[in-house]
Amino acid sequence: MAEKVFMIALSPTMEEGAILQWKKKVGDIVKMEDPLCEVETDKASMDYLSSQEGTLLAIVKEVGTSARVAEMIAVIGEPGEDISGLLTAAPPPAKAAPAKQAPAAAVPVASAAVSGGRVKSSPLARKLAADKGIDLAAIPGSGPGGRVIKTDVENFTPAAAAAVAPAGSFAPSSLGSSALNDDQVPVSRKRQIIAKRLGESLFSAPHFFLTLGIEMDSLLEARDRINAKRKEKVGLNPFILKFLAEALKRHQALNSSWEGEFIQNHSRVDLGIAVAQPDGLITPIVKDAGSKGILQIEAELKDLIDRARGNALKPEEYTGATFTISNLGSFGIEEFTAIINPPGVAILALGATIKTPVVAEDDSIVVKRIMKVTLSCDHRVVDGVVGAAFLTEFKRMVEDPYQVLL
Amino acid sequence: MAIITFREALRQALDEEMARETGVVVMGEEVAQYDGAYKVTKGLLDKYGPDRVLDTPITELGFTGLAVGAAFAGMRPVVEWMTFQFGLLAIDQLIHNAVKYRSMSGGQFKCPMVVRGPNGPAEYLGGQHSQSFASYFVHVPGFKVVAPSTPYDAKGLLKAAIRDDNPVIFLESEMSYGHKGEVPEEEYLIEIGKADVKREGTDVTLISFSKPVLMCLHAAEELAKEGINAEVVDLRSLVPLDKETVYASVRKTNRAVVVDEAWPKASVGSWIQAEVMKDCFDDLDAAVELVASEDVPMIYNHTVELEIQPTVAKIVAAAKRVLYRA
């Protein structure tokens, strides 16, 4: 039986790929794992390894043309088979084939129950949530695919959600009444994914940590000057992301992925930023941050974080970050270590900016605003010196923004 | 109350109705001299004579048509099909005549007849004798379709079926004839169209009819061991369907499993599954499950034969799935 060969997602973010070269001719025998063609993805060019066996009967996408993921590129079958039906058949399903080359990124961090703003829930759970005035999106679902079911609504307490409120807001203290209980809380799909992915990351990637303090005075002053002339104030994060992108451009190793057989470099800097949700966390991505200005990053960040908190991100908006930051500074955390978010090989943990006595060059003691940052690196890809070089470059840029121009 | 078998309960119903009205006649293959293939008509020939208890040739279409004509003419025939498998030969008479003339004649004719006999899979009967055809009759407007699971229900429903002015399809099961249960000495009828809650529960509703009801009760005991309190609703009548009782149960438990020993496609089970999902949508915490026979012709090998049909284990598993405890 002749079968269609479909384009598959060869990178976490690939939506379409261009055929650079066919490595088999029509009539050639194709075995499992044989390189069929070379495909240029959004990140790199790589071999398409066949997951089908037989004789290559037709090439549908010639060299130089592009195919969207799940689009037919060839036909494999027995010699002499009539394949006219396959070639003229209806277009393939829009659903993407599983990405063989991207095992980690194929598992989204976000709740599987939430896609495009829709929350999977049983009809009864919807009615109960509406009666209680609870937003379904805030309830962790324990049913299949993260479906919110009756017990989830019944066991949900908004107070419990407030305890993990997004950065910047604190749960009101509950003096006098204990909020503790002995409940068994069902593990939501989202929490299962968080547990699995972060466990895999910490246990398979040998982490090491580099910490340093960055003087924030000049950046904060620069930001104040900029904001003084603007109606819409720019936050600190866009500056940090911009400098990180610039530093990453100069340190390829930190913007890559460990693929076992090889290390996949990424030409584009896709920066993830960890955002707390009531029932977990998610890392929306500012794509290609290296080519964007601070104001554009600011605008995108604002939109992404808003939608992240509302559980309204699309999978491609939170999968495949090449580098991630996590900021607990607004909670007053001075410094901390973060677990690397695959497929990235490093994550930067940002602490609070704190006025600190610093011994200056002339041995006088001056007060500086210091932010402690800790870089977690995957030692399979990044060695200590490489990580240190990147981090000190980032520090130099933040402390002396003109460095970026160099 | 006396404890009697399912077949004896049916016999009592026939006997009582024949004594009550001379228009009630029994006909079918070997129902007279041989007392019926499953001994349901035992002793009726001696009591009522050959004019009212008729052995017919092996001609299902012929004698079923004879009964349809007799019903139009004012009698109340009870046709025994030795099995509903053979009845396939005769459904033309039922679908084109029995259920049509009342409406097509503007009510001038009525068709007070009962067709009864074993339906559905049993054991060691092979591919051609193990089929449940409930949906064939439920599908066609004009029939009443009854499928009791206990001797008590069988007697009360058969008496009501004989007195009904519509053609009533009365589905029994080979495996049920020997089942015993309490049946009162005094006369009683059971209204067609009323389901019966055979076991009260709070966590999940098991909906079934005919022989699998007993399996549901067994499954409920198994579930109870795991702290799951299942309610078992015995439909008893498929047409008319007692939606009120079914829905009240589902609205209480929020979860339902339908058990039907027919194949799963376009079956009574899948119809009830759809009705519950449509009408109890906001009360459901999980999609309604259907436990049916596998979608294959029956295999003679006994182990496979039993595994093709609904089993207690399959019902327990489905109940746990709708409770998200699988």
> Which residues of chain B fall short of a pLDDT of 50?
none
Average pLDDT over residues A28-32: 89
Whose structure tokens read 């009630």?
B24
State pLDDT tens for residues B230-244: 999 999 999 999 999
CA distance A40 to B47: 91
- When pLDDT is cut at 50, 70 and 90, the band that residue A203 belongs to is very high
Beta-carbon separation of A149 and B286 below 8 A: yes
pLDDT digits (tens, 9 = 90+) for A264-295: 999 999 999 998 887 788 899 999 999 999 99
Q: Can you name the CATH fold of A114-189?
A: Dihydrolipoamide Transferase (4.10.320)
Q: Check pLDDT > 70 for residue A113.
A: no
Q: Which residues contact A71 (CB under 8 A, 6 or more apart)?
A: A6, A7, A16, A61, A91, A92
Of the given ranges (A356-360, A400-404, B125-129, B301-305), which has the lowest mean pLDDT? A400-404
Domains B2-183 and B196-322 share a fold: yes
Percent of chain A with pLDDT over 70: 86
The reported pLDDT for the residue numbered A11 is: 73
The tokens describing A12, both together, are 């976490």
Q: What are phi and psi of A61, to 5 degrees?
A: -105, 110
Contact at 8 Å (CB) between A392 and A210? no
Find residues 239-268 of chain B whose CB sits inside 8 Å of chain A: 254
Across the A/B interface, how many CB contacts are shorter than 8 Å? Answer: 27
| A122 vs B: CB within 8 A | yes
CATH code for the domain defined by A195-405: 3.30.559.10
> How far is it, in rounded angstroms, from Cα A58 to Cα A55?
9
Phi and psi at residue B53, to the nearest 5°: -130, 105
The pLDDT of residue B19 is: 98
At the top level of CATH, the class of B196-322 is: alpha beta
Tell me the pLDDT of chain A averaged across its residues. Answer: 82
Annotated active-site residue B129? The verdict is: yes
State the nearest Cα–Cα gap between B254 and chain A, in angstroms: 8
- Is the minimum CB–CB distance between A150 and chain B shorter than 8 Å? yes
Domain residue spans of chain A: 3-88, 114-189, 195-405
pLDDT higher than threshold 70 for residue A97: no
pLDDT at B179: 96
* Chain segment A120-155, per-residue pLDDT in tens: 899 999 888 888 888 888 888 888 878 889 988 888
A124 touches chain B (CB under 8 A): yes
B contacts of A127 (beta carbons < 8 Å): 282-283
Predicted local distance difference test score (pLDDT) of residue A178: 60
Q: Which pLDDT does position A107 carry in this prediction?
A: 32
Contacts of B38 (CB under 8 A, 6+ apart): B7, B118, B174, B177
Model pLDDT for residues B168-181, shown as the tens digit of each residue:
999 999 999 999 99
What average pLDDT does range A323-349 have in this prediction? 93
| ipTM score assigned to the predicted complex | 0.70
Tell me the shortest Cα–Cα distance from B322 to chain A, in angstroms: 10
Do the chains contact at B285 and A149, CB–CB below 8 Å?
yes
Contacts of B247 in chain A (CB under 8 A): none
Whether the pTM exceeds 0.80: the reply is no
Query: Does B139 participate in catalysis according to the annotation?
Result: no
The pLDDT of residue A174 is 45
Buried-state track B87-102, b at ≥16 Cβ within 10 A, e below 16: bbebbebbbebbbbbb
A341 in reach of chain B (CB within 8 A): no
Q: Smallest CA–CA separation between A115 and chain B, in Å?
A: 20
Residue B278 contacts A where some CB pair is shorter than 8 Å: no
A35 CB neighbour count, 10 Å cutoff: 15
How high is the pLDDT of residue A395? 94
Mean model confidence pLDDT for chain B? 97
Which of B30, B129, B275, B294 is flagged as catalytic?
B129
Q: Which residues of B296-305 are buried (b: 16+ CB within 10 A; e: fewer)?
A: eebeeeeeeb
Query: Nearest CA to CA, how far is A131 from chain B (Å)?
Result: 12
> How many Å separate Cα A351 from the centre of its chain?
21
Contact list, B288 vs chain A (CB under 8 Å):
none
- Per domain, the residue ranges of chain B are 2-183, 196-322
CATH number attached to the domain at A3-88: 2.40.50.100
- Say which CATH class B2-183 falls into: alpha beta
Residue of A83 and A352 predicted with greater confidence: A352
CB contact under 8 A, A122 and B282: no
Catalytic residue among A224, A303, A306, A383: A383
